[in-house]
Amino acid sequence: MDDFVCNKLTEWGLSEWIGSFKEHGIGKESLYCLTRNEDIDKLIPKMGPKLIFMKRLKLLQVRPSTSAAAKRNLDPEGESSVGQSPTKHQHKAIPGPSPAKRKLDPEGESSEGQSPTKHQHKAIPGPSPEATILFDVKTIMGHVHERLRKQQPTKLNNFLKNKIRELKIDKKELVGVFGKTGAGKSSLINAVLREKHLLPSGSVSACTSVMIKVEANMDNSKYEADIEFITVEEWRNELWSMCQFLWNADQKKHAAADGGDDDDGSDGDDDDFDDVEHRDIEEKLSALYGEEWKQKKTSHEDLMDNKYFREIPEFFFSRKKTLTAQTAKELSAQFIKYTRSDSKQEEGRKEIKRWYWPLVKSVTVKVPNNDLQHVTLVDLPGNGDRNKSRDEMWKECSTVWIVTDINRAASEKEPWEILKGAASFIGNGGQCQYIHFICTKSDCIEEADDNDIYAQILKRNRRAKEAVNAEFNKQKHIKKHFSEDTFEVFTVSSKRFLQRKCLQPEDTEIPKLQRFLKNLNDSHSETVNYVSGAHGILSLIQGASCRDGANKNTAVCAELEHNLNHQICKVKTVMAETYKAFQICLDAGVERSRSSCEKELSSFLYPRKKGGKKRCGFHGTLKCVVKYGGIHKPKKGAAINLNMKLSSHLTDSIDEEFRRTFPQTKEKCGAFKGVINSFSLNTERLIDKYKTHKDVKLQLVFLKTEEDMMKIKLNQMIRECKKLIYSSLTETVEKTMQTSYERAAVFKGKDTLKNMRNTLEQHVHDSKDTMFKQAKNNMLKNLNDLQKFILLALKNTMMESIELSLKTDEHSIPDVSEELVRVEKYYYDLQQMKSSH
């Protein structure tokens, strides 16, 4: 087997199967010939790794030269430059500037608009230094894993192989972009990425209807879009529901025309809820089926006919559909039918017969020659979507951009309602560290005097920032989750930035956002963590292979175990204090919830206008709330969440303590008053003490690395678990209320509104003595489970590492001195690169 196959398996995270490929003599040429499942079964019998291999191999077989060239600096034929004649090399294209330094033409467009001849000679930028280091270290660790696999599977041998397998890549940083239709989200993303035609924008009637993720294409130099569909069963169920609604609406309409009694208990209110629902259904069905659904709306099975899905066979097989193009403009034209709802089709789009956005879950757009390899921008649809994708995405974002028009940035309700409604999702219930309030179209000003336009724009930008910051300080609910240092206002002009007119690039504040994204990307610890972990593992292997000091090891072990016990006691103390603090807060929250829940429910069930008058149009709203489990997201206005309203006193009671226990920003001391981050066995002092004893020093280097890696893993786990802990309060209330929602949803005809209200009121009255206590107990249990896990992980992980690094006497350990020297150099190079940032 040649290095090519070994490197590919390592790159794909399948290094444990290298031996199998060697055994069967699979080289580069035979790798490309693997097409039959039965052949692959012999090489990788395990289902999970086999599926990963098949996916990667398919991509490699489709575009072997491009992918390889991007990752390994190979020539266009896919062969290594090593050993080639100087003559051949002289004709190679010199790599262009790094993606960060790409220049735009005067119109702000990238090279996508160049002539074919010019485009053909465009050199593919080589991999970044970090990418090269990561690839080399992965290859080294793949070879080391293979050498260990060939040896006797002792306790230390298995430990080392597991540690190599555990070296993994961090998740990407997500930047969520939110705002209402027409706010300029798509134009903002295009400008930040310097891709004028990437995301479609500009239509008043069109709006983004599905989640769009934008990230760097690290595989090749093409523009790509991966379309992920909902399941066939989900669409079948939705079709049935829509057809039922339309049939019921028709029956009601005919009854009214015949003079029948259609009193539904809405107190004479016509309510436009059914009309809005009707319009939404018509928009979806017309997008996908044109006018045909109107003749078949009573049979949802007719609408599942294959003829409607010929262009997307992937839908029936639950597969992603991948679109590719040479330019951003070409790709945008291809994927627009999967992302947009357009009631009035624009010129150039009338040829689109079917719009598939009702079937799409998300679209991932991949941009080539982009250095933001660790960042994904997520453009989400605005209010009105009833699925939980947006709420779940809030929780995953490390940064949130709220986008709104500058003209009414501070006074417009919708952006503040979006932020207020999501505060608990991105704050205590999420992991957001930065909120950017982005005022777009800052250049839209009357150009009466061209000489004065520049000063007018800057003046209005300054006033807008002052007004937005002042409004933020009034938002008490939001400030419970975030401090002022996490909130920043930007006034941007995407159009002026791309056109380079009137304003300097810096004045558009697009470069400021670009620098933020670059810093966010550079601070991502993927390569550093991997190389650091590899350095520690190789130190342990080399230290074990040249061990010569049993007495020294005994003394070191004793000191390490003493330090470990002392640190565990410190963690236990803080954990106990934290649990007690939450218990006190929740006891108060339970009492407030029990005494006020019926009043809170009443204020929701009997809404009034500001003047005290009864509010019309509530029948349809409540109908929707009970239908969707207590949650309603209208097209306009704030989202309604009755479960959050009922649990608000519980969450309010812990918000301050929760923020102290689980701080959002990386600059803070860390979770549980910093006791995890400060956990230390004092290995650095011991490394210095035993620096003349090579074997002990190397094993201590491993323990220091293991300590650091363990804290990174625990902090990542805490970040995920704290979302579940916080949300458990509202989720418990939601589960308890579910039976009342289901009973209320079945009422029809006369007194429907009255019956729905009575059902909810009776249920809350009967449940108030137990519901909030149960929520408290569930949250405390989740907190206690997390604390127990942390203590066990700290103790067991470090004890096992001490035992196997300093107490195990094994001689069948490979010599990795050369590998250690190379990885150690990479390790120190990365430390310098990190400090220079």
| Contact present, 360 and 385 (Cβ < 8 Å) | no
**Bridge partners, residue 325, by sequence:** 223
For residue 734, the model assigns a pLDDT of 96
Give which of 468, 469, 508 is closest to 184, Cα–Cα.
508
Structure tokens at 561: 């175990």
Question: What are the residues whose beta carbons fall under 8 Å from the beta carbon of 558, sequence distance 6 or more?
Answer: none
Helix (H, G, I), strand (E, B) or coil at 465: helix
pLDDT of 533 > 90? The answer is yes
Structure confidence at residue 268 as a pLDDT band (50, 70, 90): very low
In single-letter form, the type of residue at position 808 comes to: T
Q: How far apart are CA 310 and CA 774, in angstroms?
A: 51
Average per-residue pLDDT for the chain: 81
pLDDT of 277 > 80? The answer is no
What's the rounded mean pLDDT across residues 422-438? 87
Q: 10 Å Cβ neighbour count for 209?
A: 23
Q: How far apart are CA 540 and CA 695, in angstroms?
A: 9
Structure tokens at 762: 């009776």
Structure confidence at residue 84 as a pLDDT band (50, 70, 90): very low
Structure tokens at 818: 């050369």
Give which of 492, 243, 215, 466 is closest to 365, Cα–Cα.
215
Q: How far apart are CA 535 and CA 822, in angstroms?
A: 9
What's the rounded mean pLDDT across residues 785-812? 90
Structure confidence at residue 78 as a pLDDT band (50, 70, 90): very low
Q: Please state the three-class secondary structure of 332-391 as a single string.
A: HHHHHHHHEEECCCCCCCCCCCCCCHHHEEEEEEEECCCCCCCEEEEECCCCCCCCCHHH
What would the pLDDT profile of 350-397 be if each residue is shown by its tens digit? 566 789 999 999 999 999 988 888 899 998 876 544 445 666 777 888
Fold that domain 173-229+320-344+360-522 belongs to in CATH: Rossmann fold (3.40.50)
From residue 142, how far is each of 135, 146, 830 by CA, in Å?
11, 6, 20
Question: What are the residues whose beta carbons fall under 8 Å from the beta carbon of 532, sequence distance 6 or more?
Answer: 705, 708, 709, 827
Q: How far apart are CA 6 and CA 15, in angstroms?
A: 7
Q: Is 674 left (phi over 0), alpha (psi -120 to 50) or beta?
A: left
Structure confidence at residue 113 as a pLDDT band (50, 70, 90): very low
Q: How far apart are CA 567 and CA 559, in angstroms?
A: 12
Backbone torsions φ then ψ of 487, nearest 5 degrees: -110, 130
Q: How far apart are CA 699 and CA 803, in angstroms?
A: 11
Give which of 732, 727, 741, 736 is closest to 630, Cα–Cα.
741
CATH of domain 3-61: 1.10.150
Question: What are the residues whose beta carbons fall under 8 Å from the beta carbon of 77, sequence distance 6 or more?
Answer: 65
From residue 120, how far is each of 79, 102, 114, 326 by CA, in Å?
20, 17, 10, 11
**Bridge partners, residue 434, by sequence:** 399
In single-letter form, the type of residue at position 680 comes to: S
Q: How far apart are CA 95 and CA 80, in angstroms?
A: 16
What would the pLDDT profile of 608-662 be if each residue is shown by its tens digit? 765 555 556 688 889 889 998 999 877 666 788 999 999 999 999 999 999 999 9
Structure confidence at residue 144 as a pLDDT band (50, 70, 90): very high
For residue 612, the model assigns a pLDDT of 57
For residue 74, the model assigns a pLDDT of 32
Q: Is 539 left (phi over 0), alpha (psi -120 to 50) or beta?
A: alpha
Structure confidence at residue 110 as a pLDDT band (50, 70, 90): very low
Name the pTM for this structure.
Answer: 0.76
Number of residues that this document lists for the chain: 837
Structure tokens at 56: 């990667």
Which has the minimum average pLDDT: 119-128, 200-209, 454-463? 119-128
Domain positions in the chain: 3-61, 173-229+320-344+360-522, 232-254+274-317, 549-808
